[in-house]
Chain A
Amino acid sequence: MSKTVFPPSINSRPVYGELEARPGSGHLMIADAEGAEAILDLAKATDKDFWAKAHVIYIPKNTGTKYSSQLEKLGAGQYYAGPSYEAAQSRIRRALQDCHMGTQVYLTGTESLMGQAMAEATAAGIPHTAIQTEHRGSTARRMQCVHCKGITEDVTTDPFECSHCGLSLFVRDHYSRRLAAFQGVRVDAEDPGNIPKKVELFK
């Protein structure tokens, strides 16, 4: 699966680029699932010295060992594979605390992972424009219900039911960088009960 191309949208919707190795005092790479492919692609144009300064944090999700075995072989100074973003979060925070200006941050995989890791990296003091991203894999969305504020992960249909309050929500492109989530708004607010048929928009 290669880099995802998204249709043009409103300014609020994040856009992603393509990872490239940049000079830096360290390289913090955070990826999930197919994001591993972007790291493996980037690795084609790097040498051993690059990887000695790298810290790879990888969440395989449902890809098993398909990619993790290859990532491990890159020879990163530190390599970690974990079961979920939540499980990796304390490690990400600690890694950001320990690094210096000049460290390059590379985020790749799902929007949920990139958005959450982006929020951590910007909170640590890196300007968001200096953080590289590349989308790979699932386009399922991390959604915030604007009514109950609950987060629903891996949303693939529009509308969808909020996993917290149960309302049917319309999936907007309106995005919150702070929450790392798209906004879901009650679809039948004007006409209660009139809920359009679900369409699978994201895979």
Chain B
Amino acid sequence: MSAGTAKLNVTVAEVKPINDLVTRFKFVRTGGGDLPTFSGGAHTVVEMQDGDITRLNAYSLMSNPADRGAYTISVRRDDEGRGGSKFMHSQVKEGMEMVISNPVNLFSLDLRAKKHLMLAGGIGITPFMAQMHQLTMMGGQFELHYSVRNASLGTYAEELKAKYPGKVHIYHDDQDEAIDLNTLIATQPLGTHVYVCGPKGMINWVHGTAEDMGWPREAVHSEEFLAPASGKPFEVKLAVSGKVIQVGEHQSLLEAIEAAGVDAPYLCRGGACGQCETNVVGYDGKFLHYDHWLDDEQKAGGKHIMPCVSRFEGKTLVLDR
């Protein structure tokens, strides 16, 4: 079995539309019993049987980490996406049995921090909901700044304002409200850590501003799951298993390896964790690296690829798998 992919059999206990784009799903253990504990910021990989295709998408757990009775996730429907979120919205019903992975945390709180400054954009709110539960139990200090498109798409905004009075600040794009990042970053007491989860532009904005203002790299945390990019189909030879596989236009390399029955390691499936790093035996062509894991030198070196999000264009690619 691949590292970190221990599975949990769960039953969908509740499907609740939150607004036009977001639906919340609640999972309990099939046959009863406790689920494993997790820490705020963790995600689970949900397996979806969509006809012949197995889709695996990572979603942040948003429920109270101390509640082992159920996990909840919120899924934002992406009509332009590859179909995972659409499947969740259209096919998943209460009472359905599903398989999800054990929780994995790549966005955990640094508990040495004296204060946690949380910056969320859109559906990026979900990991913070679990973290705020956790910090409330521990008596930790936090402040949430949450940017939403408009009030009706402000997922959980009102609920959070009521639950954590004075700690939650909401910004509506349609009312020209924006997080005053420069002031926020400039005025934090020593020992503050900042966390950002949202669109790529927001993550880069926070990293860039904090760096310009002299913040230590170690005090800035972010999480962005990439969806695997589509691209031209290509052929790959797997040297260890002796197979030749085809990667389809809307399929990731990792998915194609799995579809061929080869057990490959993975955790986040979003280019962040490094678990699926694969050695390249030989190639003639061009790599399309989309991950956050390999450094620029490795990306240029042609010896490694992250099959969860990255692709290849060219004649031949041989992987050590």
Contacts and interface: CB of A to CB of B under 8 A. Distances in A.
Interface residues of A, number: 18
A125 B191 contact: yes
Contacts of A23: 212-214
Contacts of A96: 190
B163 interface: no
Interface stretch (A11-19, A126-134, A194-202): A126-134
Q: Which of B192, B213, B216, B217 has the most CB of A within 10 A?
A: B216
B264 to A, nearest CB: 34
A25 B190 contact: no
A1 interface: no
Interface stretch (B79-87, B181-189, B229-237, B292-300): B181-189
B256 interface: no
Nearest to A125: B191
Chain B, interface residues (CB within 8 Å), range? 10 to 19
Contacts of A25: 186, 213-214
Main secondary structure of the interface of A (DSSP, over half): loop
B192 A125 contact: yes
A127 B190 contact: no
A188 to B, nearest CB: 40
B214 A103 contact: yes
B215 interface: yes
Contact of B214 (A97, A104, A129): A104
Nearest to B113: A125
B187 A127 contact: no
A82 interface: no
A73 interface: no
Q: Which of A24, A97, A124, A127 has the most CB of B within 10 A?
A: A127
A127 B216 contact: yes
Interface of B: 112-114, 185-192, 212-219
16 contacts: A22-B214, A25-B213, A99-B190, A102-B186, A102-B213, A102-B215, A124-B190, A124-B191, A125-B114, A125-B189, A125-B192, A126-B190, A126-B191, A127-B219, A129-B218, A130-B219
Interface of A: 22-25, 96-97, 99-104, 124-127, 129-130
